[in-house]
Amino acid sequence: MGVKCPTVTFAKWRRLIAKKSCPNLAFPLPRKLNAKEVKGIATSSAGGAIVILPNPIWFGISKPSRLDVHVLPTMQATALGRQPVILLMCGSFNPITNMHLRLFEIARDYLQDDGRYQVVKGILSPVSDRYKKKGLIPVSHRVAMARLATKGSDWIHVDAWESEQDAWLETIKVMRHHSQMCTMNRAHEEELEEESSCCGKRKAPSHKGSLKRLRCDERDNDCPNFRDSNDLSKDQTKVMLLCGADVLQSFCVKDLWKKEDIEEIVGRFGILCISRHGSSVPRQLIQDVDILWKCRCNIHIVDNWILNATNSTDVRREARRGHSVKFLVPDAVAKYIEANGVYTDKSEQINSESCLAPFSIHRRPETL
């Protein structure tokens, strides 16, 4: 979240924001803001140089890490007339590499250079152990390494919700979950906007509106004619799937994805795919696959001009052989791998006799 500063008086806090003299710092606010103050701050800091964190206690939230309210950054995007975007990357992160983190930076630069979007958050969502992928070490290690890797970022965060579920979840369910969290956050934004005074006793916030929206979202999920994400209003946060070209290619693997899930991912949410410069694979896939072609306006292909072929498989191999993985992964992750000995010949055989969870679920019984 950036470097935390001691709580300052509201007057001093406003001066610091106005001067923009302390970029990338998170200033705890002394109190809740009224509608006029919120509008002024959203406008003055709309460039996004300063991260403003509201106090979760204002909203009656006992576990802010679960709800992850990012109210003012979203308002900043709205003040600029841009669509607030959350970039979601799902995967094994076995282990997380520098390239995983680099994809977030490339994606944010692309979207914000486009002029229509403002990235307010990046989420890393490690897959559950129940995915049953060969060589997949326990999620406790993978989440720990991901958190070490993102410790220095003020906008990329690790969310362990997916990995904590009792069963493996399809990517679309993870996206729905984070979309619903955005809906709840929006309800809190509206409460801020409706606040006309910063004095006197305040009524405890009601979550009826957000719950109503969640029920609407759930109905939308069951409806084949879900709303396209391009139809979202400017003040609604859009969740987009961030991935590499391999994920687009995997859409063509039989029984790995359900057709209706692909349709909802590309049609309702959208994809930002980072491709190696000069590769025609993603664009060719969009041309060849009808579902992707139909929603091509919701798929962003970004060329990565700086070549870096580092992948988790290479890192695991080097670690198993006792070689250094420094500069392939963040330093803290390299130290964690060495200290805990998480990658060995034995670890590489985890799930070696198991069937990948999507295949077990999506294949018909007679084809197993």
- β-partners of residue 239 are 86
Tens-place pLDDT, residues 269-278: 999 999 877 6
Closest CA to 77 of 186, 163, 167: 186
Q: What percent of the chain has pLDDT over 90?
A: 55
Mean pLDDT (whole number) for 79-94: 90
Closest CA to 59 of 98, 87, 29, 36: 29
For all residues of the chain together, what is the average pLDDT?
Answer: 77
**pLDDT confidence bin for 35, thresholds 50/70/90:** low
* Six-digit token string for 352: 């070696």
> How many other β-carbons are positioned within 10 Å of the β-carbon of residue 155?
21
Please state the CATH superfamily assignment of the domain spanning residues 24-198+208-367 in this structure.
HUPs (3.40.50.620)
Q: How far apart are CA 44 and CA 76, in angstroms?
A: 9
pLDDT at position 234, please?
A: 56
DSSP secondary structure letters along 33-58: --HHHHHHHHHHTTTS-SB----GGG
Residue with tokens 């076995």: 94
pLDDT at position 187, please?
A: 64
* Radius of gyration for the alpha carbons in the chain, expressed in angstroms and rounded: 22
Closest CA to 119 of 244, 238, 232, 38: 238
Give the chain's length: 368
Tens-place pLDDT, residues 163-201: 999 999 999 999 999 999 887 766 655 565 565 445 444
Mean pLDDT (whole number) for 26-33: 49
Phi-psi group of 255: left, alpha or beta (phi > 0 → left; psi -120 to 50 → alpha; rest → beta): left
Tens-place pLDDT, residues 250-268: 999 999 999 999 999 999 9
Tens-place pLDDT, residues 290-338: 999 999 999 999 998 887 778 999 999 999 999 999 999 999 999 999 9
